[in-house]
Amino acid sequence: MGTQAVLRTLPFAAMAAVVVLDLLAGPALGLLPLLTLGPAFAAVTGGTRHTALAGLVALLLSVPLAYHDHLLGGPLITITLVAIVGVTAAAVLACRLRAEGERTLANVRLVAEAVQRVLLRPVPRHTGDLRIALSYTSATVEARIGGDLYDITRGPGGVRLIVGDVQGKGLEAVETAASVVGAFREAAYDEPTLAAVGQCLEDHLARRLGGEKFVTAVLAEVGENEICLLNYGHPPPLLLTCDGRVQRLEPREEAPPLGLVALSPTGPEPYGCAFREGDQILFYTDGVIEARDRGGAFYPLEDRLPRLLRAGDPQAALDLLERDLVAHVGGPVPDDVAMLLVRRERS
Protein backbone atom coordinates (compact mmCIF):
# COMPACT_ATOMS: atom_id res chain seq x y z
CA MET A 1 0.00 0.00 0.00
CA GLY A 2 1.36 3.41 -0.97
CA THR A 3 1.88 6.35 1.35
CA GLN A 4 -1.11 8.22 -0.08
CA ALA A 5 -3.40 5.23 0.44
CA VAL A 6 -2.22 4.87 4.04
CA LEU A 7 -2.93 8.55 4.71
CA ARG A 8 -6.42 8.28 3.23
CA THR A 9 -7.28 5.34 5.48
CA LEU A 10 -5.87 7.03 8.59
CA PRO A 11 -9.11 8.91 9.56
CA PHE A 12 -11.18 5.72 9.40
CA ALA A 13 -8.51 3.73 11.23
CA ALA A 14 -8.55 6.34 14.01
CA MET A 15 -12.35 6.11 14.33
CA ALA A 16 -12.17 2.31 14.31
CA ALA A 17 -9.65 2.47 17.14
CA VAL A 18 -11.98 4.75 19.12
CA VAL A 19 -14.86 2.29 18.62
CA VAL A 20 -12.78 -0.69 19.80
CA LEU A 21 -11.45 1.15 22.83
CA ASP A 22 -14.91 2.39 23.73
CA LEU A 23 -16.39 -1.11 23.49
CA LEU A 24 -13.62 -2.49 25.68
CA ALA A 25 -13.63 0.30 28.28
CA GLY A 26 -17.33 1.09 28.41
CA PRO A 27 -18.82 4.49 29.27
CA ALA A 28 -16.47 5.14 32.16
CA LEU A 29 -13.74 6.77 30.03
CA GLY A 30 -16.06 8.87 27.85
CA LEU A 31 -14.27 8.21 24.53
CA LEU A 32 -17.23 9.16 22.34
CA PRO A 33 -16.02 12.73 21.54
CA LEU A 34 -12.79 11.26 20.12
CA LEU A 35 -14.73 10.36 16.97
CA THR A 36 -13.99 13.93 15.87
CA LEU A 37 -10.46 12.69 15.10
CA GLY A 38 -11.88 11.20 11.89
CA PRO A 39 -12.83 14.43 10.08
CA ALA A 40 -9.86 16.25 11.63
CA PHE A 41 -7.37 13.75 10.18
CA ALA A 42 -9.28 13.65 6.88
CA ALA A 43 -8.79 17.41 6.43
CA VAL A 44 -5.05 16.88 6.61
CA THR A 45 -4.84 13.84 4.33
CA GLY A 46 -7.68 14.34 1.80
CA GLY A 47 -10.07 16.71 0.09
CA THR A 48 -13.50 18.08 0.90
CA ARG A 49 -15.44 14.94 -0.09
CA HIS A 50 -13.08 12.71 1.86
CA THR A 51 -13.47 14.98 4.90
CA ALA A 52 -17.26 15.12 4.62
CA LEU A 53 -17.39 11.32 4.32
CA ALA A 54 -15.30 10.95 7.47
CA GLY A 55 -17.65 13.33 9.30
CA LEU A 56 -20.69 11.33 8.15
CA VAL A 57 -19.10 8.07 9.30
CA ALA A 58 -18.33 9.66 12.68
CA LEU A 59 -21.99 10.68 13.06
CA LEU A 60 -23.23 7.21 12.13
CA LEU A 61 -20.85 5.57 14.60
CA SER A 62 -21.72 7.89 17.46
CA VAL A 63 -25.38 6.80 17.73
CA PRO A 64 -24.86 3.01 18.21
CA LEU A 65 -21.91 3.71 20.50
CA ALA A 66 -24.03 6.03 22.60
CA TYR A 67 -26.74 3.34 22.76
CA HIS A 68 -24.15 0.75 23.82
CA ASP A 69 -22.84 3.08 26.53
CA HIS A 70 -26.38 4.02 27.66
CA LEU A 71 -25.77 7.67 26.77
CA LEU A 72 -28.72 8.33 24.47
CA GLY A 73 -30.66 11.35 25.66
CA GLY A 74 -27.77 12.48 27.84
CA PRO A 75 -25.60 15.59 27.49
CA LEU A 76 -22.50 13.70 26.25
CA ILE A 77 -24.13 12.44 23.05
CA THR A 78 -25.43 15.95 22.32
CA ILE A 79 -21.99 17.46 22.86
CA THR A 80 -20.44 14.74 20.67
CA LEU A 81 -22.85 15.29 17.76
CA VAL A 82 -22.38 19.06 17.88
CA ALA A 83 -18.59 18.61 18.03
CA ILE A 84 -18.57 16.23 15.05
CA VAL A 85 -20.70 18.58 12.94
CA GLY A 86 -18.61 21.60 13.93
CA VAL A 87 -15.24 19.93 13.34
CA THR A 88 -16.43 18.51 10.00
CA ALA A 89 -17.68 21.89 8.80
CA ALA A 90 -14.44 23.62 9.82
CA ALA A 91 -12.36 20.85 8.23
CA VAL A 92 -14.28 21.03 4.93
CA LEU A 93 -13.79 24.80 4.84
CA ALA A 94 -10.06 24.38 5.54
CA CYS A 95 -9.81 21.84 2.71
CA ARG A 96 -11.47 24.23 0.25
CA LEU A 97 -9.19 27.10 1.24
CA ARG A 98 -6.13 24.87 0.97
CA ALA A 99 -7.17 23.62 -2.48
CA GLU A 100 -7.71 27.19 -3.71
CA GLY A 101 -4.31 28.20 -2.37
CA GLU A 102 -2.61 25.25 -4.05
CA ARG A 103 -4.26 26.10 -7.37
CA THR A 104 -3.15 29.71 -7.08
CA LEU A 105 0.43 28.68 -6.29
CA ALA A 106 0.46 26.24 -9.20
CA ASN A 107 -0.85 28.88 -11.63
CA VAL A 108 1.66 31.47 -10.45
CA ARG A 109 4.45 28.94 -10.76
CA LEU A 110 3.42 28.02 -14.30
CA VAL A 111 3.37 31.68 -15.32
CA ALA A 112 6.76 32.32 -13.71
CA GLU A 113 8.31 29.30 -15.40
CA ALA A 114 6.86 30.38 -18.75
CA VAL A 115 8.42 33.82 -18.28
CA GLN A 116 11.77 32.25 -17.46
CA ARG A 117 11.61 29.92 -20.47
CA VAL A 118 11.08 32.96 -22.70
CA LEU A 119 14.04 34.66 -21.03
CA LEU A 120 16.32 31.62 -21.26
CA ARG A 121 16.04 30.79 -24.93
CA PRO A 122 17.20 27.37 -26.21
CA VAL A 123 20.95 27.21 -26.66
CA PRO A 124 22.61 25.68 -29.75
CA ARG A 125 23.45 22.03 -29.08
CA HIS A 126 26.21 21.80 -31.66
CA THR A 127 28.56 24.48 -32.92
CA GLY A 128 31.80 23.63 -34.70
CA ASP A 129 33.57 20.93 -32.70
CA LEU A 130 31.64 21.80 -29.53
CA ARG A 131 28.64 19.89 -28.20
CA ILE A 132 26.53 21.68 -25.61
CA ALA A 133 24.04 20.36 -23.05
CA LEU A 134 21.76 22.29 -20.74
CA SER A 135 19.89 21.48 -17.55
CA TYR A 136 17.55 23.82 -15.71
CA THR A 137 15.79 22.51 -12.60
CA SER A 138 13.15 24.70 -10.98
CA ALA A 139 12.94 24.87 -7.21
CA THR A 140 10.02 23.53 -5.17
CA VAL A 141 6.58 25.05 -5.78
CA GLU A 142 6.74 26.91 -2.47
CA ALA A 143 10.00 28.61 -3.38
CA ARG A 144 9.99 31.86 -5.30
CA ILE A 145 11.49 31.66 -8.76
CA GLY A 146 15.07 32.85 -8.92
CA GLY A 147 17.34 34.71 -11.29
CA ASP A 148 19.59 31.98 -12.71
CA LEU A 149 20.63 32.87 -16.26
CA TYR A 150 22.64 31.52 -19.16
CA ASP A 151 23.22 32.25 -22.83
CA ILE A 152 25.51 31.29 -25.71
CA THR A 153 26.36 33.29 -28.80
CA ARG A 154 29.15 33.57 -31.34
CA GLY A 155 31.56 36.47 -31.04
CA PRO A 156 34.57 37.75 -32.96
CA GLY A 157 36.97 35.35 -31.21
CA GLY A 158 34.79 32.24 -30.97
CA VAL A 159 31.84 30.94 -29.03
CA ARG A 160 31.00 33.08 -25.99
CA LEU A 161 28.78 32.14 -23.07
CA ILE A 162 27.55 33.38 -19.73
CA VAL A 163 26.21 31.56 -16.67
CA GLY A 164 25.08 33.67 -13.75
CA ASP A 165 22.83 34.15 -10.76
CA VAL A 166 21.03 37.34 -9.76
CA GLN A 167 20.88 38.17 -6.08
CA GLY A 168 17.41 37.69 -4.64
CA LYS A 169 14.23 36.02 -5.83
CA GLY A 170 10.95 36.87 -7.48
CA LEU A 171 9.97 38.91 -10.51
CA GLU A 172 12.56 41.58 -9.80
CA ALA A 173 15.34 38.98 -10.04
CA VAL A 174 13.87 37.59 -13.26
CA GLU A 175 13.68 41.11 -14.71
CA THR A 176 17.32 41.75 -13.84
CA ALA A 177 18.33 38.41 -15.35
CA ALA A 178 16.54 39.31 -18.57
CA SER A 179 18.37 42.63 -18.63
CA VAL A 180 21.76 40.95 -18.14
CA VAL A 181 21.12 38.36 -20.85
CA GLY A 182 20.02 41.08 -23.27
CA ALA A 183 23.12 43.13 -22.57
CA PHE A 184 25.33 40.07 -22.99
CA ARG A 185 23.80 39.14 -26.35
CA GLU A 186 24.51 42.60 -27.68
CA ALA A 187 28.01 42.97 -26.26
CA ALA A 188 29.23 39.42 -26.94
CA TYR A 189 28.47 39.76 -30.64
CA ASP A 190 30.37 43.02 -31.13
CA GLU A 191 33.07 43.52 -28.48
CA PRO A 192 36.60 42.41 -29.47
CA THR A 193 37.59 40.90 -26.09
CA LEU A 194 35.91 39.08 -23.22
CA ALA A 195 37.05 41.79 -20.83
CA ALA A 196 35.22 44.36 -22.98
CA VAL A 197 32.06 42.26 -22.77
CA GLY A 198 32.38 42.20 -18.99
CA GLN A 199 32.86 45.97 -18.88
CA CYS A 200 29.71 46.47 -20.97
CA LEU A 201 27.75 44.32 -18.52
CA GLU A 202 29.14 46.21 -15.54
CA ASP A 203 28.28 49.57 -17.14
CA HIS A 204 24.78 48.30 -17.93
CA LEU A 205 24.17 47.13 -14.35
CA ALA A 206 25.66 50.29 -12.88
CA ARG A 207 22.92 52.22 -14.64
CA ARG A 208 20.22 49.72 -13.71
CA LEU A 209 20.95 48.40 -10.21
CA GLY A 210 20.99 50.37 -7.00
CA GLY A 211 22.11 49.75 -3.44
CA GLU A 212 23.91 46.46 -2.87
CA LYS A 213 22.25 44.30 -5.52
CA PHE A 214 24.57 42.25 -7.67
CA VAL A 215 24.92 39.40 -10.18
CA THR A 216 27.50 36.65 -9.91
CA ALA A 217 28.57 35.37 -13.32
CA VAL A 218 31.18 33.52 -15.34
CA LEU A 219 31.93 34.68 -18.89
CA ALA A 220 33.75 32.35 -21.25
CA GLU A 221 35.14 32.41 -24.76
CA VAL A 222 35.98 29.07 -26.35
CA GLY A 223 38.82 29.29 -28.83
CA GLU A 224 40.91 26.72 -30.65
CA ASN A 225 42.21 24.22 -28.04
CA GLU A 226 41.72 26.70 -25.18
CA ILE A 227 39.10 28.57 -23.19
CA CYS A 228 39.28 32.06 -21.71
CA LEU A 229 37.28 32.86 -18.56
CA LEU A 230 36.22 35.92 -16.61
CA ASN A 231 34.78 35.24 -13.14
CA TYR A 232 32.65 37.74 -11.26
CA GLY A 233 32.29 36.07 -7.86
CA HIS A 234 30.64 32.93 -9.28
CA PRO A 235 31.34 29.27 -8.43
CA PRO A 236 34.28 28.20 -10.61
CA PRO A 237 33.58 25.94 -13.61
CA LEU A 238 34.91 22.40 -13.49
CA LEU A 239 37.11 20.93 -16.22
CA LEU A 240 36.87 17.18 -16.74
CA THR A 241 39.77 16.14 -18.94
CA CYS A 242 39.61 13.27 -21.39
CA ASP A 243 41.63 11.12 -18.97
CA GLY A 244 39.09 11.64 -16.13
CA ARG A 245 40.84 14.32 -14.04
CA VAL A 246 38.72 17.10 -12.48
CA GLN A 247 40.14 20.61 -12.23
CA ARG A 248 38.55 23.67 -10.64
CA LEU A 249 38.96 26.62 -12.99
CA GLU A 250 39.46 29.26 -10.32
CA PRO A 251 40.79 32.76 -11.04
CA ARG A 252 44.11 33.80 -9.57
CA GLU A 253 42.33 36.45 -7.48
CA GLU A 254 38.71 36.71 -6.47
CA ALA A 255 36.70 39.54 -7.99
CA PRO A 256 33.42 41.09 -6.88
CA PRO A 257 30.16 40.31 -8.67
CA LEU A 258 28.75 42.40 -11.47
CA GLY A 259 27.17 45.51 -10.01
CA LEU A 260 29.87 45.80 -7.31
CA VAL A 261 33.00 45.93 -9.48
CA ALA A 262 33.23 49.70 -8.99
CA LEU A 263 33.87 49.07 -5.28
CA SER A 264 37.05 47.13 -6.09
CA PRO A 265 40.39 48.69 -7.13
CA THR A 266 40.54 46.42 -10.17
CA GLY A 267 38.09 44.17 -11.97
CA PRO A 268 38.57 40.48 -12.67
CA GLU A 269 41.54 39.36 -14.73
CA PRO A 270 40.94 37.04 -17.69
CA TYR A 271 42.42 33.58 -17.23
CA GLY A 272 42.17 30.33 -19.09
CA CYS A 273 43.31 26.78 -19.68
CA ALA A 274 43.76 24.23 -22.41
CA PHE A 275 40.51 22.79 -23.75
CA ARG A 276 41.31 19.86 -26.00
CA GLU A 277 39.46 17.06 -27.76
CA GLY A 278 37.46 14.94 -25.33
CA ASP A 279 37.58 17.55 -22.52
CA GLN A 280 34.40 18.81 -20.87
CA ILE A 281 33.67 21.96 -18.85
CA LEU A 282 30.68 22.22 -16.53
CA PHE A 283 29.27 25.66 -15.70
CA TYR A 284 26.71 25.76 -12.88
CA THR A 285 24.94 27.98 -10.36
CA ASP A 286 25.26 27.73 -6.58
CA GLY A 287 22.04 25.73 -6.30
CA VAL A 288 24.13 22.67 -7.24
CA ILE A 289 26.88 22.88 -4.64
CA GLU A 290 24.55 24.19 -1.91
CA ALA A 291 22.07 21.31 -2.26
CA ARG A 292 22.03 19.20 0.92
CA ASP A 293 20.78 15.74 1.75
CA ARG A 294 18.59 14.99 4.78
CA GLY A 295 21.71 14.74 6.93
CA GLY A 296 22.90 18.21 5.91
CA ALA A 297 25.75 17.05 3.64
CA PHE A 298 26.41 19.15 0.54
CA TYR A 299 26.25 17.57 -2.89
CA PRO A 300 29.76 16.25 -3.77
CA LEU A 301 29.83 17.60 -7.31
CA GLU A 302 33.54 17.18 -8.01
CA ASP A 303 33.56 13.60 -6.77
CA ARG A 304 30.59 12.61 -8.93
CA LEU A 305 31.66 14.18 -12.24
CA PRO A 306 34.04 11.47 -13.54
CA ARG A 307 31.36 8.80 -13.12
CA LEU A 308 28.31 10.78 -14.25
CA LEU A 309 29.68 12.50 -17.35
CA ARG A 310 30.84 9.36 -19.15
CA ALA A 311 27.83 9.08 -21.48
CA GLY A 312 28.55 9.57 -25.16
CA ASP A 313 25.75 12.11 -25.51
CA PRO A 314 26.41 15.28 -23.44
CA GLN A 315 22.71 15.85 -22.76
CA ALA A 316 22.29 12.29 -21.48
CA ALA A 317 25.31 12.80 -19.21
CA LEU A 318 23.95 16.07 -17.83
CA ASP A 319 20.48 14.54 -17.31
CA LEU A 320 22.13 11.79 -15.28
CA LEU A 321 23.90 14.41 -13.17
CA GLU A 322 20.59 16.21 -12.60
CA ARG A 323 18.87 12.99 -11.47
CA ASP A 324 21.76 12.24 -9.13
CA LEU A 325 21.44 15.72 -7.60
CA VAL A 326 17.70 15.27 -6.99
CA ALA A 327 18.34 11.82 -5.50
CA HIS A 328 20.95 13.32 -3.16
CA VAL A 329 18.46 15.92 -1.93
CA GLY A 330 15.74 13.28 -1.60
CA GLY A 331 13.10 15.40 -3.29
CA PRO A 332 12.71 18.68 -5.19
CA VAL A 333 15.74 20.94 -5.06
CA PRO A 334 15.31 23.91 -2.68
CA ASP A 335 16.80 26.43 -5.13
CA ASP A 336 16.83 26.84 -8.89
CA VAL A 337 19.69 24.98 -10.56
CA ALA A 338 21.22 25.81 -13.95
CA MET A 339 23.99 23.69 -15.49
CA LEU A 340 25.70 24.10 -18.85
CA LEU A 341 28.04 21.41 -20.17
CA VAL A 342 30.45 22.13 -23.04
CA ARG A 343 32.24 19.15 -24.57
CA ARG A 344 34.93 19.33 -27.26
CA GLU A 345 34.35 16.45 -29.64
CA ARG A 346 37.01 13.95 -30.52
CA SER A 347 37.90 14.01 -34.20
CB of 247 within 8 A of CB of 227?
A: no
Long-range CB contact pairs, 219-222, < 8 A, 24+: 219/160, 219/161, 219/162, 219/184, 219/194, 220/160, 220/161, 220/162, 220/194, 220/281, 220/283, 221/155, 221/157, 221/158, 221/159, 221/160, 221/194, 222/130, 222/158, 222/159, 222/160, 222/161, 222/275, 222/342
Q: What is the pLDDT of residues 82-134, one digit of tens each?
A: 888 888 898 888 888 888 877 776 766 666 666 656 566 667 778 888 999 99
Q: Which residues of the chain have pLDDT under 50?
A: none
pLDDT at 64: 86
pLDDT at 120: 62
pLDDT at 33: 84
pLDDT at 143: 53
pLDDT at 173: 78
Give CA separation, 283 vs 73, 150, 237, 271, in Å. Answer: 74, 10, 5, 15
CA distance 173 to 171: 5
pLDDT at 31: 79
Amino acid in position 131 = R
pTM exceeds 0.75 for this model: no
**Three-class SS of residue 249?**
coil
